Structure 1
Amino acid sequence: MKYIVVFLCSLITGFAIGQSPRKQVNDQSQSWFSLNSTFRLNSKWGLVGDIHVRRTNFMSDPNFYFVRAGGGYWFSNQLNFVAGYGHMWLAATKKGERIYLDENRLYGQLAYSSRLGKLSLLHRFRNEHRWRESVVADSLPNTTSFSTRLRYLISLTYPVFKNPSLPQACFANELLVQFGKPILNNTFDQLRLFAGIRQTLGKGWSYDFGYMMLYQQRASGYQYDRNHTLRLFFYYTMNRKTPAAPAPEYEDE
Structure 2
Amino acid sequence: MNTKYKLLITIGCFIVLSFLIQFQSNAQTKTKEVNIQSQSWVSENGTFRFSKRFGMIADLHMRRNNFLADPGFYFARTGLDYWINENITAVLGYGQMWVAPANPAWHHFVQEHRIYQQLQQFSKIGKIIVLNRIRNEQRWQEKIVNDKFTHDYKFTDRVRYLLSFTIRVADNKKLPSLVLSDELAIQFGKEVVYNTFDQNRFFIGIKQPVCKALSFDLGYMLFTQEKSTGYQYDKNNTLRCFFYYTPDFRKKTK
TM-score using structure 2 length: 0.85
* C-alpha contact 1:186 1:218 (8 A) present in aligned 2: yes
In the alignment, the residues of structure 1 paired with residue 96 and residue 148 of structure 2 have an alpha-carbon distance, to the nearest angstrom, of 26
Give how far 1:145 is off: 1.2
Structure 1 counterpart SS, 2:217 = strand
Does the residue aligned with 2:171 lie in a helix, a strand or coil? coil
Question: Counterpart in 1 of 2:63?
Answer: 54
Amino acid across the alignment from 2:29: S
1:67 maps onto 2:67 in alignment: no
Shift in Å, 1:40: 0.4
Name the residue aligned to 2:237: 228
Within a 5 Å distance, the mapping from 1:98-113 to structure 2 comes to 98-113=107-122
Taking a change above 3 Å as real, the CA distance of residues 117 and 26 of structure 1, as seen in their structure-2 partners, is same
User: What are the superposed Cα offsets for residues 152-211 of structure 1, whole Å, 9 maximum, x if unpaired?
Assistant: 000001011110010000010000000001111100000100000001111400000000
TM-score (norm 1): 0.85
1:171 aligned partner: 180
Q: 1:187 aligns with which of 196, 207, 211?
A: 196
8 Å CA contact 2:142–2:150 kept in 1: the answer is no
Whole-Å separation in 2 of the counterparts to 1:126 and 1:54: 20
Alignment: residue pair count:
225
CA RMSD of aligned residues (A): 1.7
Q: For the residues of structure 2 that align with 1:210 and 1:62, how far apart are their CA atoms?
A: 20
1:37/1:140 Cα in 2 relative to 1: closer, same or farther (>3 Å)? closer
Alignment match, 2:25? none
Of 126, 135, 140, 1:131 maps to 140
Q: CA–CA distance in 1 between the matches of 2:181 and 2:102?
A: 32
Structure 2 CA distance, aligned partners of 1:196 and 1:95? 32
Distance between the aligned counterparts of 2:37 and 2:124, measured in 1?
Answer: 36
Contact 2:136 2:160 in 1 (8 A): yes
- Give % identity: 46
Q: Quick check: 2:218–2:241 contact (8 Å CA) kept in 1?
A: yes
Deviation readout 1:65-108 (Å, 9 max, x if unpaired): 00001001101110000110000000005692222010000001
Select the structure of larger CA radius of gyration: 1
1:91–1:145 Cα change, 3 Å = same
Structure 1 unaligned regions, length at least 5: 1-18, 244-253
Structure 2 residue aligned with 1:21, among 10, 24, 30?
Answer: 30
Partner residue of 1:249? none
Match of 2:86 among 66, 70, 77: 77
**2-side partners of 1:29 and 1:111: how far apart?**
30
